Structure 1
Amino acid sequence: MDLQAIQNNPAFRQLASERARLGVGMSVVMAATYFAYILTIAFRPDLLGHPLWNGTIITWGVLIGVGLIALGFLLTALYVRRANSRFDRLNQLLRENLR
């Protein structure tokens, strides 16, 4: 197959565009939350050092850190779900168009 024919195919262009938008969007969300957490640790550690409630040693910083890890898993799950539904359909459409 000709590479130019694939690149000019509307299904390929849509697939590439949607994948790029989703990937960049999710990357920005993860990076922004992570850097906000790191900057808070660097410049206002007192905010994250407070215990969740009186008598516990678990702080807000630990809870938010675990939340960041959970966010990474959530974003991964959302991407996989989108890839297994929308992107697979576009990929199949592209293959049918190129036959």
Structure 2
Amino acid sequence: MDEVQVERILQNPKFKEMVSRKSKLSWTLTIIMLVIYVSFMLLVGYNKEFLMSSFSGGVTTWGIPLGLGIIVLSFVLCGVYSYIANNTFDQLSAEAMKEVEAITHQKTSASQSNANQG
């Protein structure tokens, strides 16, 4: 592929839409995870008494389910990203690839016809 083809691909509206939507989703999920994680760290730093208190009257403290919840949340967010990527981004990617192949095919056809004429 030459620079002209690459530029046409980068300017393709479907390619731009896919990149934009993927970026928005990635940043949204990243911010969610960061807010939850930083909130937990602030809780550890500034309210240890709450985390050390028992929520059931036994030996299990609030820190254990909250910590496990953060781990589970990270898996859930990965699942959300995978679900959306498989159902939305793959379709956009396939549409963009069809247009990219058309661009590449046009360039190849033009090159071959120029070679045949010369």
Q: TM-score range by the shorter chain?
A: over 0.9
Larger Rg: 2
- Give me the TM-score of the superposition, normalised by structure 1: 0.95
Aligned to 1:16: 19
Aligned to 1:82: 84
Provide the C-alpha distance between the structure 2 equivalents of 1:23 and 1:65, rounded to a whole number of angstroms: 23
Task: Pick the aligned partner of 2:94 from 62, 85, 92.
Answer: 92
Q: Which runs of 5+ in 1 are unaligned?
A: none
The reply on whether 1:31 has 2:34 as its aligned counterpart is yes
| Alpha-carbon shift at residue 96 of structure 1 (Å) | 1.2
| Alpha-carbon shift at residue 45 of structure 1 (Å) | 0.7
Aligned to 2:113: none
1:33-84 deviations in Å (ceiling 9; x for gaps): 0000001100111111111211x21111110000000000000000000111
Identity of aligned residues (%): 27
Following TM superposition, the consecutive aligned residue runs of length 4 or more in structure 1 with deviations greater than 2 angstroms are none
Please tell me the residue identity of whatever aligns with 2:46. F
Q: Number of aligned pairs?
A: 98
Please tell me the residue identity of whatever aligns with 1:40. L
Aligned to 1:71: 73
Q: Cα RMSD over matched residues?
A: 0.8
- Give me the TM-score of the superposition, normalised by structure 2: 0.80
